[in-house]
Amino acid sequence: MAALFEPFQIRGLSLKNRVCVSPMSQYAATDGYANDWHFAHLSRFALGGCGLVFTEATGVLAEGRRTHGDLGLWHDSHIAELQRITTFIKSQGSAVGVQLAHAGRKASERRPWHGETPVDAEDSQLRNENPWPAMGPTTQPYGDGWPSPKMMTESDIQTVIAAFGSAAKRADEAGFDMIEVYAAHGFLLHQFYSPLNNDRDDRWGGDFEGRTKLALDVASSIREHWPDDKPLSFRISATDWLDDGWTIEDSVRLARALKSRGVDIIDCSSGGLGGPYPAPRFPIGPAFQAELAAAVREGADMPTMAVGFIWQPEVANVVIESGQADLVALARELLSDPNWALHAASKLDVDTNFSMWAPAFGWWLNKRKRVLQKLGLGE
Ligand SMILES: Cc1cc2nc3c(=O)[nH]c(=O)nc-3n(C[C@H](O)[C@H](O)[C@H](O)COP(=O)(O)O)c2cc1C
């Protein structure tokens, strides 16, 4: 059996394979509520055989959303529609996770196809979407042309920590199997732990302990509200790829500390900090971030997830087989082919007769295959 299709156990959760749907914002929610778009988008990946399906970044507070279209879990009324989605995904034998997020100074941003620039009066006119004030560890803006965020006070920080805990409780009620905290790509927690972005001189800044305190306290707050048998993941930017920025050694140290707060797995992405720095130097290529997952896995002695530019089944399989990571997460390739996991199972000779497909699809595809073979037209 190819390693990619070996089951994986993490706390009380059993995954049928190692293929995960990486969080992908759809910018399609209204006031944080999921709708039919999210149901259709996420369900495709369960039908497509992925072991674990993550939602997109889901705001723990309305003001912590990145865009007006983000999903949210800051109110009990968000639970019902998400529950419809988790129920269906689980009925197909896949597990389902939610990515909990706070955008910090990156909040109040336009959707990508509206420019990925700050929301302003034009959006109010065109879409009835108004800007709102963002906050972060610093008053440094996210980028040129962005407003200065409010420097968060002790009480703002405590509100965010409590909000992650409350959202975790709602995530449990909504039927999610796993939580991933979005602590990467210039979102709030990354803004705090990166030395380039955190210029505070209170207990939430300064040295490594100060800068990582928010991530650790968020983990503890979630664990207070999230069942013991359900796993908790953190997505980190394992390096800023910038001089004087966050490094892979910092990530190993953070992973160890997160583990002591009840975090089970580290999803290793990178970059995305924003700010007045040169473009990060990414060594982009197939599975280019898997080496970061490998370093954290070895250094912190805990499971990891590899993500980024993984699209060939053979490459995904090697990442697992070679012990670089325990899970792989795919995003864009799954948009292109939501049945990627099922096709990968066929390519890796794990499923040669469509037996892993839902019978309503697989029965027909297998029958067609046999007919084509008989006619000398199939493989
Ligand atoms: C449409 C889209 C939306 C995304 N939204 C999120 C998100 O909400 N949270 C997140 O952590 N990453 C997000 N990402 C990044 C992906 O999860 C993934 O890390 C990245 O696309 C690299 O993987 P890939 O090469 O398989 O696409 C998004 C990517 C895409 C393409």
Average pLDDT, stretch 248-271?
Answer: 98
Please say if the pLDDT value at position 21 is more than 90.
yes
CA of 322 to the centre of ligand 1 (A): 24
Closest ligand 1 atom to residue 329 Cα is: 26
Average pLDDT, stretch 306-333?
Answer: 98
pTM here is 0.98
Closest ligand 1 atom to residue 310 Cα is: 26
pLDDT at residue 278 in the model = 78
CA of 22 to the centre of ligand 1 (A): 6
Please say if the pLDDT value at position 379 is more than 90.
no
In a domain, 230, yes or no: yes
More confident residue, 224 or 144: 224
In a domain, 85, yes or no: yes
For residues 327 and 18, the answer to whether their CB atoms sit within 8 Å is yes
3-state secondary structure of 150: strand
In a domain, 373, yes or no: no
> How many domains, in total, are found in the chain?
1
Task: Give the tens place of pLDDT for each residue, 194-211.
Answer: 999 999 999 999 999 999
- Residue 337: band (very low, low, confident or very high) from pLDDT cuts 50, 70, 90: very high
Ligand 1, atom 31, residue with closest C-alpha: 332
Closest ligand 1 atom to residue 185 Cα is: 11
- Residue 277: band (very low, low, confident or very high) from pLDDT cuts 50, 70, 90: confident
Ligand 1, atom 12, residue with closest C-alpha: 23
Average pLDDT, stretch 365-377?
Answer: 96
3-state secondary structure of 215: helix
Please say if the pLDDT value at position 59 is more than 90.
yes
Partners of 99 in the β-ladder: 57, 180
pLDDT at residue 87 in the model = 98
Task: Give 16's DSSP letter.
Answer: S
Average pLDDT, stretch 306-310?
Answer: 98
Q: CA 206 to CA 154: how far, in whole Å?
A: 15
Query: Residue 285's domain spans which residues?
Result: 3-348
In a domain, 16, yes or no: yes
Percent residues over pLDDT 90 in the chain: 96
Ligand 1: which of 19, 21, 22, 289 to mutate, most ligand atoms within 8 Å of CB?
Answer: 22
Using only the alpha carbons of the chain, give its radius of gyration: 21
- Triad 68, 187, 294: Cα angle to 5°: 130
Ligand 1, atom 29, residue with closest C-alpha: 24
Closest ligand 1 atom to residue 182 Cα is: 11
In a domain, 210, yes or no: yes
Strands 8-10 and 13-15: antiparallel
Q: CA 291 to CA 303: how far, in whole Å?
A: 13
Q: State the DSSP string of 81-111.
A: HHHHHHHHHHHTT-EEEEEEE--GGG-SB--
pLDDT at residue 328 in the model = 99
CA of 364 to the centre of ligand 1 (A): 33
Ligand 1, atom 21, residue with closest C-alpha: 331
Ligand 1: which of 24, 233, 267 to mutate, most ligand atoms within 8 Å of CB?
Answer: 24
Please say if the pLDDT value at position 106 is more than 80.
yes
Percent residues over pLDDT 70 in the chain: 100
Please say if the pLDDT value at position 229 is more than 90.
yes
Q: Which H/E stretch holds residue 15?
A: strand 13-15
What CA–CA distances, in Å, run from 80 to 34, 36, 54, 77, 117? 9, 13, 17, 7, 32
Read off the CATH number of the domain in which 65 is found.
3.20.20.70
In a domain, 154, yes or no: yes
What CA–CA distances, in Å, run from 49 to 39, 60, 102, 276? 16, 29, 30, 42
- Residue 275: band (very low, low, confident or very high) from pLDDT cuts 50, 70, 90: confident
Q: Which tokens is 304 given? A: 């990891």
In a domain, 69, yes or no: yes
In a domain, 240, yes or no: yes
pLDDT at residue 134 in the model = 97
As for ligand 1, residues whose beta carbon falls within 6 Å of it are: 22-25, 56-57, 99, 182, 184-185, 235, 269, 307-310, 330-333
